[in-house]
Amino acid sequence: MNKKLMAVAVAGALAAPATVLAQVQIYGRANLGFDNYSATGATAANQDFKARNRVFDNSSRLGFRGTEDLGGGMRAVFVIESGVNIDTGNQNSQFGGANASTGFLASRDSYVGLEGNWGRVTFGRQSIYWVQGVIAQSGANYINVDVATTGALGRVVAPTARTSNVMAYNSPTVNGFNGTVSYAPNSEAAAAAANTDARIWGVTGRYSGRFNAQIDYAVNQGTSGAATGTPKNSGLKVGVGYPYAPGAQIAVIFISDKNENLAAAVAGFAAAGDSVKANAVIVNWEHTFGNMQALAEVGKVQKAKGCSGTGCDNTESTGFMVAGRYLFSKRTAAYVSYNKITNKDNATWDVSGGGQSSASASGGFLPAASAGADPRIIALGVIHNF
């Protein structure tokens, strides 16, 4: 009798965790390949990045997500997603410096929150003013990198990207429309007597229907009291896509980034206290036919404005990407891609996303000394989603 009771108790103890675990999904991505990177033609002598072969990893990740039904139409939700470098096992980018989106738990978008018919509220590390949603997915979901996945328009940087300590509200979708409002207090580690008014916030609006659209606006407000005034980085993105056939879309993205009251001078570009601005236009095309997918992008960064003296001269850049994918299944594809950016003599636009540059320590732009160099990547890769 005691053995039977023990068996029932053990079975019950084992059954309860199984019910909980059934609500948790393990998922991820492996995106690796072989490429050749260079950035040559720099205006200054001996500042080129010579061609080098690389085994690369771009944005591979491992994640856990789940929900719990709380009754009354309300659910608890959570995501813990971590970037993993399958090529090296460390958290470094291709240039050798640390990549903040890899190497530790919750390094990518991760949060906990509540959702219902009224929308979703979440707290954690989340993206603000980053990637383009369904407007342009090449660099985010299909291949290694593209010119639309950019963290900076030359030396004019975006307000933020994947951001820690975010509180966000995501609205329900009504007639194809939905939106997100995000806020991050950015003075949590302020020292004694220091001002604590730094903050990051953003608003995103989306529409999917006969056409796709997304608009992002974000502000990264620095701490007040700086000698040059309160620094503020802001950005606006507007993208519109026309899905003219299943698996096919052509889209246009406008980006405008502004850096106000620079805290320090930028060599060869702007002085402390300057407020500089840059605009870019990117056209994205994707088309799937059978097991093949063709991808292409072209983008242009216009001349920057607001520099003291002649620092904004020759800051224009152009870039393009062409790629092809063979779809073995819904989860696995092989691809070849070619990315090239052509910078004028004082321009520093670089490939970004997933730490793909071997030159940039800042994410999205070349070192100031290498202004005028032209980044290029030729890649062969495999991507598997699980």
Reported as a single tens digit per residue, the pLDDT across 271-315 is 999 999 999 999 999 999 999 999 999 999 999 999 999 999 999
- With vertex at residue 57, the alpha carbon angle to CA 39 and CA 34, rounded to the nearest 5 degrees, is 65
Residue 315 lies in a domain: yes
Give SS3 for 191.
coil
How far apart CA 164 and CA 107 sit, in angstroms, is: 9
pLDDT band (50, 70, 90) for residue 362: low
Question: Once rounded to an integer, what is the mean pLDDT over residues 124-150?
Answer: 93
69 within domain boundaries? yes
Q: Which pLDDT belongs to residue 103?
A: 87
CATH number, residue 211: 2.40.160.10
Domain that holds residue 264: 25-187+196-385
User: Would residue 5 count as lying in a domain?
Assistant: no
* Average pLDDT over every residue of 353-363: 81
- Please report whether residue 367 resides in a domain: yes
| Strand locations in the chain (E) | 24-40, 49-57, 61-71, 74-83, 110-116, 119-127, 152-153, 156-157, 162-170, 177-185, 199-208, 212-221, 232-245, 248-260, 276-289, 292-301, 317-327, 332-343, 374-385
In this prediction, residue 369 carries a pLDDT of: 94
Query: Span 30-54, mean pLDDT?
Result: 97
Arithmetic mean of pLDDT over the chain: 92
Report helix, strand or coil for 129: coil
pLDDT tier for residue 42 given thresholds of 50, 70 and 90: very high
Interatomic CA distance for residues 293 and 247, integer angstroms: 9
* Predicted pLDDT of residue 364: 76
In this predicted structure, the answer to whether residue 22 has a pLDDT above a threshold of 70 is: no
pLDDT tier at 97, thresholds 50, 70, 90: confident
Closest by CA to 353, choosing from 104, 107, 165, 93, is 93
Residue 210 pLDDT > 60, yes or no? yes
Is residue 4 in some structural domain? Answer: no
Check pLDDT > 90 for residue 251. Answer: yes
CA pair distance 58, 161, nearest whole angstrom: 16
The pLDDT of 257-278, averaged and rounded, is 95
Q: How confident is the model at residue 187 (pLDDT cuts 50, 70, 90)?
A: very high
Is there a domain that residue 13 lies in?
Answer: no
Share of the chain above pLDDT 90, in %: 84
- The answer to the question of residue 9 being in a domain is no
Question: Quick check: is 345 in a domain?
Answer: yes
pLDDT at res. 352: 82
- How many domains would you assign to the chain? 1
Work out the pLDDT band at 99, boundaries 50, 70, 90: confident
* pLDDT for 21 beyond 70: no
Residue 49, pLDDT > 60, answer yes
> What angle is formed at CA 215 by the lines to CA 209 and CA 221, rounded to 5 degrees?
155
